[in-house]
Structure 1
Amino acid sequence: MKKTSLILLLTILLYSCSDNFSNNNPYIPNYTFSTTINLNLAQFSDLKFVSNAVYIGQPGVGVKGIYVFNTGSGYNAFDATCPNQTLSDCSTVAFKKLDSSDPLKVDKTTVVCPCDKEEYSLFTGQGKLQYPLKQYRVEVNGNLLRVYN
């Protein structure tokens, strides 16, 4: 009886420690990538402040680039591809505009898909449709962020 209980306990502990990071979305391919962001560089300085995000659109990083966001307790990284649309010219999310007459006034906590006008929170990746933004892992090492899939 003790051996059975011990084996059951060890099995439960083993499965509870596994990495259950699920990132499946039928519209967004699973590309493997890794990129490092140096927070000391000017183009990433917004990430030093809570509720700020930056878009990184370099080739090979995500499908259509990524958004990295400072949540206040860490960082989120999401693919810049609309999660509920097939890949097309209009399937790249962009910061939500606050003033249509001034394109520089944007909400850096929300992105919008131009195809369907759906909004997604950079705090959670959630919108109102079936699939949330595709999230990537973020590893913090001092002033360096490693975003990877």
Structure 2
Amino acid sequence: MKKIVFLLSLSMLFACKNDDDNLDDNPFLTSPLVNLNLNLNLPEYNSLNFPSNSLVVTRQGIRGVVIYNVDNTTYHAFELSDPNHVPTDCSLMEVDGIEATCPCDDDNKYNIVTGQNITDPSRYPMQRYRAVRSGNTIRITN
């Protein structure tokens, strides 16, 4: 009986899938080390104090990170390199409102709230990073 319980426990452990496993499925993007601490008391991050605002930080990630404030408690952070082709000179997406657009000639457009491809939802979504607010600091990691 102990062997059966052990085998069932072991199989359940390996059957579980981590939320980040979908990042490994994208053949175009790597998972760079991202570790940002944004102090909302600083003027450069002030826009993130207000819902529906976003901020682009280019010093981390592959091409940069866009952070979006949903409701002052929930934040979303995504990689700014287009996830549907190998990073190139033109793969840094441009953010306008809640859309990120790839300037390459592929017409890829993404929603920075959900990360989904607006042009073709069957394509890879934007690569997501963890965004957690604690007090007046937002921590972005992967």
In the superposition, the TM-score normalised over structure 2's length comes to 0.81
CA deviation after TM superposition for structure 1 residue 117, in Å = 2.5
1:123 is matched with which residue?
A: 113
CA distance in 1, matches of 2:127, 2:28: 10
Whether 1:41 aligns to 2:34 is no
Structure 2 CA distance for partners of 1:92 and 1:10, relative to 1, 3 Å = same
Q: How does 1:90-109 map to 2 (within 5 A)?
A: 90-96=90-96, 107=97, 109=98
Report which stretch shifted further, 34-43 or 17-26.
17-26
Q: Percent identity?
A: 33
Number of positions where the alignment pairs a residue of Structure 1 with one of Structure 2: 135
**Which runs of no fewer than 5 residues in structure 2 stay unpaired?**
none
CA distance in 2, matches of 1:41, 1:88: 32
Whether 1:147 aligns to 2:132 is no
CA contact (8 A) 2:91 2:102 kept: yes
Q: Which has the higher helix share?
A: 2
Map Cα deviations across residues 66-119 of structure 1 (whole Å, 9 max, x no partner).
0011122501110110111221111001113xxxxxxxxxx1x11111112221
DSSP 3-state at the match of 1:40: coil
CA distance in 1, matches of 2:101, 2:62: 16
Letter of the structure 1 residue corresponding to residue 54 of structure 2: A
Map Cα deviations across residues 15-74 of structure 1 (whole Å, 9 max, x no partner).
68874323222111221231111111111111111111100012xx10001001112250
1:101 is matched with which residue?
A: none
DSSP 3-state at the match of 1:28: coil
Q: CA RMSD in A?
A: 2.3
DSSP 3-state at the match of 2:19: coil
DSSP 3-state at the match of 1:68: strand
Whether 1:64 aligns to 2:63 is yes
DSSP 3-state at the match of 1:21: helix
In the superposition, the TM-score normalised over structure 1's length comes to 0.77
**Which runs of no fewer than 5 residues in structure 1 stay unpaired?**
97-106
Which of 121, 124, 129 pairs up with 1:136? 129
